[in-house]
Structure 1
Amino acid sequence: MKQLFSFILVLLLGVSTLSPSAFGAEKKAPSLAEKAESAILIERDTGEILYEKNGDEKLPPASMTKVMTMILIMDALDKGKIKMSDKVRTSEHAASMGGSQIFLEPGEEMTVEQMLKGIAIASGNDASVAMAEHIAGSEEEFVSMMNQKAKDLGLKNTKFQNPTGLSVEDHYSTAHDMSIMAKELLKYEGITKFTGTYEDYLREDTDKKFWLVNTNRLLKFYDGVDGLKTGYTKEAKYCLTATAKKGNMRVVAVVFGADTPKDRNSQITKMLDYAFSKYETSPLYKRDQVVGEVKVAKGKDKTVEVVTSEPISILNEKGQGKANMKKEVKLNKDLKAPLKKGDEVGTLIIKKDGKVVTTSPLLAKDSMKEASWWNFFKRTFTTFTKTS
């Protein structure tokens, strides 16, 4: 009798530990990153998560840190604070960086374009610090800018201590946060010219000609991959934030903590294959596309045109048909001059089947100076003559 009771108890306990999926009540998620500590897969334009594993686990990002470094470089270029042709001088501090480098010497000058090439292709720590000092005046101030940008992007589990990713205490990010950074970087369409280059040269016409080879081998072996950044340290192991585009759809895949480069690349490949086989996108807007205009009080002109800040698309599962989609433009009220080009002036909201799937900032297309007394006089005079 005791044996029968024990047998029944074992059966009951066994059944109670079965997951709902064992009864077919729960759809099984794909296993795409078994050999990574954390991973995520998103569609770039919508930001929709297609797969996630430990997405909010804080881990060392190694050289994937340079995704944020490149965001700040591209932002400075976009706002006209620096130009590709600007000369960047290498400090003693920048030249002293270890790890991956392009072997800059103290006092050596390169253009912003060459430095960006050294960062994106060769993961140059020296070039990263040189650019940080050029933009912010010091590495410390640049790191403050990195952390502020992380807050602006709504990243809650990221903290930077340097622009390189070299191992240091209290420097961390997550697969989720890294995917959002990649999404932000990719709105600058020119960045893939650098991150998508497999090999190139620096100092071409000198005795110090230097061959650059991209650390992202998937550029050569996976059709559509054109970025973004690998990472490796002993603590972080092998990491990669990758992006690929096929047709209208661009996706971002992130892997933290793979044991080998082969494992890292195979996990990314599986995620990319999954995305392109299962989903498709319908583009709605390009970046910098005019969607309307907004009134500006006390401005030289009465209104300024409003443009998109990034590409906008709708994501659908293949074979499911087009979703019921609605667009909504919300413009800020009580805007006052002066206004800078790129200032946020509203929000574009995309709803799919009644659910909000995308909220994206809308920007001022041009700067707006404050109106002079003469502008006010002409405006008042014109109004007077029209009504008299």
Structure 2
Amino acid sequence: MRARLFPILSIILAVLALPVRAQDAISFDTNARAAWVYDVATGTVLMEKNADEPLPPASMSKLMTLNMLFEALHDGRVTMDTAFPVSVKAWKMGGSKMFVEPADRPTVEELIHGIIINSGNDACVVVAEGLAGTEEAFARQMNERATQLGLTNSHFVNASGWPAPGHEMSVHDLGMLATHMIEDFPELYENFALTEYNYKNRVPSNANNRNPLLGLGNGEWTADGLKTGHTEEAGYGLVGSAVQGDRRIVFVLAGLPSDSARAQEAEQIANWAFRQFTMKTLVPKGETVAQAPVWLGTSGRVALTTREGVRVLIPAGQQESVTAEAVYRSPLPAPIAAGDHLGDLVVTIPGAGEAKTPLIAASDVPEAGFLGRMKGAAMRLGQRAMDAAGS
């Protein structure tokens, strides 16, 4: 147990909420086998169900193939105009296809469209062989990169999500990967909102993006990605993202019984996430949260603030029941440097736990000179004497 050198001063603030795990605050009963819903701006997990269970991801694992390709673009190993050869293996792939042929030389841009919109298994093999030589080597690279990204419940056997023993991802990992791609590749992420692509007019039936939320346009929020998936073993799944103003949610559903159930569940989750939670700015960047007393400093107080401000997520109906405390030792000993971590803003939401945001010094407070220290010590002794007399 840490020794406390000074009394704790707690100031109750009439504020709302900080990022917390909000699942217990407002529940959503999903029919999916596994689900994960995440508010990106506040880092809040809004809901999770079997989120860390490794499951067959079907075509949703194509996100990892796309991530590897996006990284190659950012590294300069390829450009959007780089052309890849088409092997017989890629040409013969079954299931959803972009319909490339051995004589073709599709560009990276065309392959991105073919994977996102047509869910092309053939396009995934082309990318894997183009970047790593063989699909097997590419799968090993996918696994290495997944470990680096912190995807702890994922293992890849191929580039397309074609059913294979050991090819698994958790919905949590899929959501983390989607969030990474949204934040790290914003200019490439725009491709996920495209609704139609037909490579050389060869696509007979799946030229449209299968994401059921794209173009829904209900006036409250807009969906702009990411990827559907379906096999007999995996059921119907979706990695989705939607925006409303300055809020973005990422959500993953797996194991639904039909494409209509997937569409209905995805829309309901998006409505729930935006309607049951509201985001506010609790502390603007640079705003003072509290004025803390300083012991033996050139100034008697120091302003406490946060590094980036605090954006808050408020569950519906919880505004009046949320409390927050600025907790720090009082008085704070000088010297103090601007940016020093001096305490925490602790917010509690009934049923959802508490969250902490560091409070830092807004300015320097040097140690007082000899006379200042003597005066401060005398005042401190006098205060202690008064306190003892009062007791």
Deviation at 1:32, TM superposition (A): 3.7
Normalised TM-score (structure 2) = 0.65
Q: Which runs of 4+ in 1 moved over 4 A?
A: 26-29, 208-211, 281-284, 318-325, 354-358
Q: 1:258 maps to which residue?
A: 256
Q: 2:210 maps to which residue?
A: 215
Deviation at 1:29, TM superposition (A): 4.6
Equivalent positions of 1:99-248 (< 5 A) are 99-187=95-183, 188-203=185-200, 208=202, 212-222=207-217, 223-248=221-246
Deviation at 1:31, TM superposition (A): 2.5
Q: Does 1:98 align with 2:76?
A: no
Q: Does 1:317 align with 2:309?
A: no
Q: Is the 8 A contact 2:42 2:313 kept in 1?
A: no
Q: Does 1:31 align with 2:28?
A: yes
Measure, in 1, the Cα distance between the counterparts of 2:42 and 2:357: 7
Q: Does 1:79 align with 2:75?
A: yes
Measure, in 2, the Cα distance between the counterparts of 1:125 and 1:46: 35
Equivalent positions of 1:37-48 (< 5 A) are 37-48=33-44
Output the amino acid matched with 2:28. S
* Larger displacement relative to structure 2 (211-220 or 171-180): 211-220
Q: 2:65 maps to which residue?
A: 69
Q: 2:345 maps to which residue?
A: 353
Deviation at 1:232, TM superposition (A): 0.2
1:157/1:209 CA distance change after superposition, 3 Å: closer
Measure, in 1, the Cα distance between the counterparts of 2:114 and 2:282: 33
Q: For structure 2, which runs of at least 5 residues remain unmatched after alignment? A: 1-22, 284-308, 327-340, 347-354, 359-391
Deviation at 1:352, TM superposition (A): 8.0
SS at match of 1:271: helix
Q: 1:279 maps to which residue?
A: 278
Deviations 1:92-145 (A, max 9, x none): 111111110011111311110011000011100101110111112221121111
Q: For structure 1, which runs of at least 5 residues remain unmatched after alignment? A: 1-25, 285-311, 326-348, 359-388
1:139/1:357 CA distance change after superposition, 3 Å: farther
Q: 1:368 maps to which residue?
A: none
1:247/1:218 CA distance change after superposition, 3 Å: same
1:220/1:357 CA distance change after superposition, 3 Å: farther
Measure, in 1, the Cα distance between the counterparts of 2:270 and 2:194: 19
Percent of aligned positions that are identical: 33
Normalised TM-score (structure 1) = 0.65
Deviation at 1:280, TM superposition (A): 2.2
Q: 1:362 maps to which residue?
A: none
SS at match of 2:71: helix
Q: Is the 8 A contact 2:213 2:266 kept in 1?
A: no
Measure, in 2, the Cα distance between the counterparts of 1:322 and 1:77: 47
1:31/1:352 CA distance change after superposition, 3 Å: farther
Output the amino acid matched with 1:252. V
SS at match of 1:130: helix
Q: Is the 8 A contact 1:40 1:176 kept in 2?
A: yes
Measure, in 1, the Cα distance between the counterparts of 2:95 and 2:310: 39
SS at match of 1:122: coil
Q: Is the 8 A contact 1:119 1:128 kept in 2?
A: yes
Deviations 1:201-238 (A, max 9, x none): 3226xxx5777210112102254111100000000010
Measure, in 1, the Cα distance between the counterparts of 2:188 and 2:216: 20
Deviation at 1:251, TM superposition (A): 0.8
Deviation at 1:173, TM superposition (A): 1.0
Q: Which has the higher contact order (CA 8 A, sep 6+)?
A: 2
1:181/1:212 CA distance change after superposition, 3 Å: same
Deviation at 1:184, TM superposition (A): 1.1
